[in-house]
Amino acid sequence: MSDEPVAVWAASIERFNNDSTPCATISHVFAYGGAIEYYADLSPPGQIYIPDANVRAAQLYAQTSGVRSVTLVIDGHANGGDGGADLAARTDEELTSWADALAARVCAIDVAGGLQLDLEPLDWRNLPKFLVFLARLSANLRAPSCTSTTYPAGRAVSAFGAASIATRSMWRALGPNGYFVVSGYDLVLADSTAGVASTPAQYAIALETAVDTIVLEAGRADGRFMLGIPAAASKLEFGRLRHADGTETVGSPQEDYVSEALRLISAKGLDESPRFLGTALWGFAPQIEIPRGSGDHYFPSNPLSSDAVRTLLVSSSGAQRCAGNASP
């Protein structure tokens, strides 16, 4: 694996920020940090990978004009299989050890304002053990060993998932420095085979349901949240799909999905809510292949590769979206 820094979107984000209105800048970057994996034949079986190259990339994003905060994304497979954590089968002692090791690594990274957990699928089978892990991690990230003059309250922690799992228990585990990043994409027929795009109208209906759920649950728990929106192609919201055999499926213009999301944010008055921290832009990638190894590629592969999406985002505004974000 190369140790060369790969902050491939830094220049594009800087150009976007220089062209944007103050409340539309990408000021919070979710940079890929690494993974949590489990291999029974290793000692210890639970492994945390945060390559130095990813740390250097985060440092470069932190230096990008307009960027005020960098969060490291830690992903992994919540079920079993090759490298899968199989959370439901882990003991509390194993989860505590993982949380301690991950926090120690992140707290040693000067530009890491926090971390986001993206362990999928995050469903009801895996949720109880996930909350054990998350609660320990959150406590570690705000412990004295993780505070400094730059981070007097410690580091933030967030979890990505569906609105339906953002319960009071989720926010209790996230703690005072935590927030939930709710998926605002792949919402219609989410268990269907990839390759059939939702219409913008279908997307808007499903997104409204997710938003209503997260607003209700956040109100009950006094929790904070971000909303992920499909500013680039997702499994069910895409402009174009090029299949492995060379044929193509046309979806809807990506800007139509983004427009529906921004319209709903305005209609629901989210920008006036102190619990709403802004939109998280899915996603920044050289290519989007679903599923991996299939040869099926979805477009656009990042928000700034579409002139129409870029124009829409540049002109967007909103007091809470000043917390704005990207997901390289």
Instruction: Round to whole Å and give the CA distance between 4 and 208.
Output: 42
Task: Check whether 257 has a pLDDT greater than 50.
Answer: yes
Paired tokens of 160 = 């990505």
Residues 222-242: pLDDT tens digits?
Answer: 999 999 999 999 999 999 999
pLDDT of residue 320: 41
3-state SS, residue 155: coil
Q: Is residue 4 situated within a structural domain?
A: no
Q: Rounded to the nearest 10 degrees, what angle do helices 127-141 and 92-107 cross at?
A: 40
Q: Is residue 247 situated within a structural domain?
A: yes
Residues 41-57: pLDDT tens digits?
Answer: 999 899 999 999 999 99
Rounded to an integer, the average pLDDT of 168-189 is: 94
Q: Is residue 61 situated within a structural domain?
A: yes
Residue 114's CATH number: 3.20.20
Between the CA of residue 178 and those of 144, 154, 156, 158, 319, what are the distances in Å?
A: 17, 11, 6, 5, 20
328: pLDDT confidence band, cut at 50, 70 and 90?
A: very low
Contacts of 73 (CB under 8 A, 6+ apart): 30, 31, 32, 33, 115, 116, 118, 327
Instruction: Round to whole Å and give the CA distance between 178 and 294.
Output: 36
Q: Is residue 14 situated within a structural domain?
A: yes
What residues form DSSP beta bridges with 69? 28
Decide: residue 175, CB within 10 A, 0-12 exposed, 13-18 middle, 19+ buried. Answer: middle
Q: Is residue 209 situated within a structural domain?
A: yes
Instruction: Round to whole Å and give the CA distance between 273 and 215.
Output: 10
Q: Is residue 178 situated within a structural domain?
A: yes
Task: Check whether 326 has a pLDDT greater than 50.
Answer: no
Residues 123-177: pLDDT tens digits?
Answer: 999 999 999 999 999 999 999 999 999 999 999 999 999 999 999 999 999 999 9
Structural element, H or E, at residue 91 = none
Query: 211-236 burial string, b = 16+ CB within 10 Å, else e?
Result: bebbbebbeebebbbbbbbbbbbbbb
Instruction: Round to whole Å and give the CA distance between 135 and 3.
Output: 32
Q: Which domain holds residue 162?
A: 10-323
Residues 273-283: pLDDT tens digits?
Answer: 999 999 999 99
Rounded to an integer, the average pLDDT of 302-316 is: 90
What residues form DSSP beta bridges with 182? 161, 227
325: pLDDT confidence band, cut at 50, 70 and 90?
A: very low
Q: Is residue 131 situated within a structural domain?
A: yes
Number of domains the chain is built from: 1
Residues 89-126: pLDDT tens digits?
Answer: 999 999 999 999 999 999 999 999 999 999 999 999 99
Q: Is residue 222 situated within a structural domain?
A: yes
Task: Check whether 11 has a pLDDT greater than 80.
Answer: yes
